[in-house]
Amino acid sequence: MNPNSLASVKGRVPILALGLVLVATLRAGELPKWLRTLAAQPVTSTAADVPATVLLNETILEVDQWGRATWEHRYAVRIVTRTGLSEARAIVAYLDKNDTVSAADAWLLRNGNVARTESDNKWFDWSTADQQGAIFSETRVKEISFRDDAVPGDIFACETKVEGAMLFTQEIYAWDNPLPTAMDRFVVKVPAGWSVIPLLRGAVAPAASVSADKRVWIWELRDRPYRPHEPWTDPHSVVAAQVMVNLVPPGEAKPDAQRLFRTWTEVSDWQGKLASSQCDNDSAMSAKVRQLVAGCADELGKIRALAGYVQKLRYVAINRNLARGMGYRPRKASEVFAKGFGDCKDKSNLLRAMLREAGITSYPVVALAGNEREVERDWPSPYQFNHQIIAIKVDNRIDLPTVVQTPQWGSLLFFDPTDPETFVGDLPWHLQGSNVLMIAPGSAELIRLPNLPVESRWLAERRVKFALTAKGAVSGECHFIGFAQDGAQMRHHMHSLTTKELHDWATGRINAAVRGAAVQNVSCEDDEATGRFGVTFDFAAPTFIQMLPGGLAVVRLDVLGRGALPTFAENARRTAVEIRPLIQDDEVTLVLPSGFGVEELPTKTVLHAAYGSYENDYGVKDGTIVFHRILKLNPLVVPVADYPKFRQFLASASKADREAIVLRIAQ
């Protein structure tokens, strides 16, 4: 929703046709002073897994008396390994027809020489529309890449300048580069009479300084360590620190269109005025609403019918007039309905219009999608949000985990119309527990969305029943069932697969433990009322047991695996682990053939820790072995110091899974 966010384009590296270049001798004045100084510094040693080291990352924001801004950026990185060659690139984003990229220069230095240099007209210029799911966007990016020319030991550097009007006299800066960084600096310059009000947060505190006249403010972090990519990294550890800045003009100043928000009410009122005329209706939409709610027994049934219709519409954005704040304004509901597509704010607005036609009141709600940071209560600004959902006023008797009781609006049912797989009564994982803002008259405080209970909202039930033949072959059926968020994740993955890919998925799941298994009759079941999603298939394999001397055989019933868990192979970590909630309830039933009996069963295992719990047991009755296990993980963050204990908990559960059953075969 936030058109000024670059999160959607940071990962793109287009293929550029870069030719060979000649190495020229470095001449005085050829490079800016800051780069000459960095290039002269001695090379420091790094850990073996570090791909590159950042020498300087500096952003300077300067605002003039009319509220126009200049963003200057200087960046230099030393390539350490071949893996780090991809770091020899730079991007600069701007708004078409509002911003001017007045400078863009890049250099590649090798052994004190200039290996390559390019100015603005050589940078690749592209629209971010396809990265934002848009058919049109005014946000554009200039990009340069020297990766095809770089070698380990080179320094890549760039310097850019963008000039344009600020939508709000507010700014956020985050220290979030994963590479080890010698200097990461943010500078703010304001005219005489202006004031700067910063708000800092994060695990570390940047060094701060301000000039005597209070016109230049500097925050910097030095010698930031490497943060490698590790599974289940706590997203809040990705951002080491943030500074949120209000730039306050003197009382008599009147910047062209800039706004400064001091309260959440002002934010709500501003966005409410933008959207006030957009929640319209027409005869075609009214007819569709009547069709969808016909036969619905109650209010909740109507909500589910209308919500299900809107969330199935295609996600497509049209990002125009962003410099005037139109990136926060939905298109008219009638237009979205007629064309059958929209972005998050469009879909939220359409659902509001359709609910109103059915006699149900609702409100738009702005949220922050993604877990890298949280909405800061003490810094009112639309810049904190990038997503829009909806709050539906419901009867107090509706008992769903996504209903929040509020003193001002009563019972509110929160729902995300953009997520096509998460149904009414559930919330996407990245929104749970987050702070959101109601766009409604009198909205003055953030509302915290609920964290849904693990036992009912993250449950995965998996069942396997199969029969063993006297020759050691097996055949049977598998049922994988997910509820709420686990069901939504399954649904999202399965809906992306072709029929063949679905068959291959089922084959891969069972073949991980039952080698040579052939799969057939793969089918999916979906229940929109409960969010339950399941996959069922049959399988058969020529061998399953391991024969031993003396008429004995060994069999292991851990045929379901732990596909939802990553592999924590490293003995130590550098980042905290965010445990994602999970409860797997597994049951494996093996029917033995005539003449087979159980010689030895594993003992029951029970594990309890702060991270969760694990329990298994085995039973035998009438020639049938039943293996049952439950693994539960609690949503929490495991500090680096506690990682070995968490890893040991998972290892103990895995060891218990692999315990063998000894069978005796009648001779």
**Tokens describing residue 54:** 């950042």
**Based on the domain organization, do 218 and 355 belong to the same domain?**
no
User: Residues 322, 190: one domain?
Assistant: no
pLDDT surpassing 90 at residue 533:
yes
Asked, for residue 296, whether it belongs to a domain, the answer is: yes
Q: What is the pLDDT of residues 391-425, one digit of tens each?
A: 999 999 999 999 999 999 999 999 999 999 999 99
pLDDT at 652 over 70: yes
Q: 13-17, 239-243, 378-382, 625-629: lowest mean pLDDT where?
A: 13-17
Instruction: Give residue 373's pLDDT.
Output: 79
Q: Which of 221, 248, 275 is the last residue of a domain?
A: 248
Tens digit of pLDDT for each residue in 58-82? 999 999 988 899 999 999 999 999 9
Across the range 607-635, mean pLDDT stands at 95
Q: Which domain holds residue 287?
A: 264-452
Give the pLDDT mean for 360-379: 92
pLDDT band at 23 (very low <50, low <70, confident <90, very high): very low
131 pLDDT exceeds 90? Answer: no
Instruction: Determine, yes or no, domain membership for 539.
Output: yes
498-523: pLDDT as tens digits: 999 999 999 999 998 899 999 999 99
pLDDT digits (tens, 9 = 90+) for 457-505: 889 999 999 999 999 999 999 999 999 999 999 999 999 999 999 999 9
Residue 505 sits in the same domain as residue 638: yes
In a domain, 343, yes or no: yes
> What's the pLDDT score for residue 537?
97
Do 602 and 634 belong together in one domain?
yes
The separation between the first and the last C-alpha atoms of the chain, rounded to the nearest angstrom, is 71
Contact 457, 484 (CB under 8 A): yes
Q: For residue 11, is it within any domain? A: no
- Other CB atoms within 10 A of residue 258 CB: 20
Q: Which of 90, 114, 84, 88 is nearest to 103 (CA)?
A: 90
Do residue 210 and residue 224 come from a single domain? yes
512 and 622: one domain? Answer: yes
pLDDT number for residue 252? 56
Q: What CATH number has the domain bearing residue 435? A: 3.10.620.30
Examine residue 258 and state whether it is found in any structural domain, yes or no. Answer: no
- Rounded CA-CA distance 379/246 in Å is 9
Please report whether residue 462 resides in a domain: yes
In percent, the amount of the chain with pLDDT more than 70 equals: 94
pLDDT at 253: 53
Residue matched to tokens 């027409």: 282
Residue 263 burial (C-beta neighbours within 10 Å; 0-12, 13-18, 19+): exposed
Question: What's the Cα-to-Cα distance from 334 to each of 273, 340, 379, 498, 558, rounded to whole Å?
Answer: 18, 10, 35, 34, 54
Whether the predicted pLDDT of 10 surpasses 60: no
Pair (484, 578) in one structural domain:
yes
Q: What is the pLDDT of residue 241?
A: 94
Among 459, 446, 423, 425, smallest CA distance to 586 is for 459
Residue 8 scores a pLDDT above 70: no
CATH classification of the domain holding 480:
2.60.120.1130
Which one of 207, 222, 248 terminates a domain? 248
Q: Which of 198, 214, 248 is the last residue of a domain?
A: 248
What's the one-letter identity of residue 371? N
417 and 285, same structural domain? yes
Whole-prediction pTM value? 0.89
Domain shared by 224 and 297, yes or no? no
* Domains: count for the chain: 3
Find the mean pLDDT for residues 158-166: 95
- Work out the percent of the chain whose per-residue pLDDT is above 90: 80
At residue 466, the pLDDT reads 95
Q: Is residue 33 part of a domain?
A: no
pLDDT of 531 above 50: yes
Does 29 have pLDDT greater than 80? no
d(CA 513, CA 495): 25
Query: Do 507 and 611 fall within a single domain?
Result: yes
Q: Report the mean per-residue pLDDT for the chain.
A: 91
Q: Do 541 and 596 have their domain in common?
A: yes
Please check whether residue 615 is in contact with residue 630, taking contact to mean a CB–CB distance below 8 angstroms: yes
CA atoms within 13 A on the CB side of 358: 31
The DSSP bridge pattern shows strands 459-468 and 582-591 to be parallel
Res 258: pLDDT: 56
pLDDT band at 5 (very low <50, low <70, confident <90, very high): very low
Asked if residue 217 is part of any domain, the answer here is yes
For residues 470 and 348, membership in a common domain is answered with no
Burial of residue 218, with CB atoms counted within 10 A of its CB: 0-12 exposed, 13-18 middle, 19 or more buried:
middle
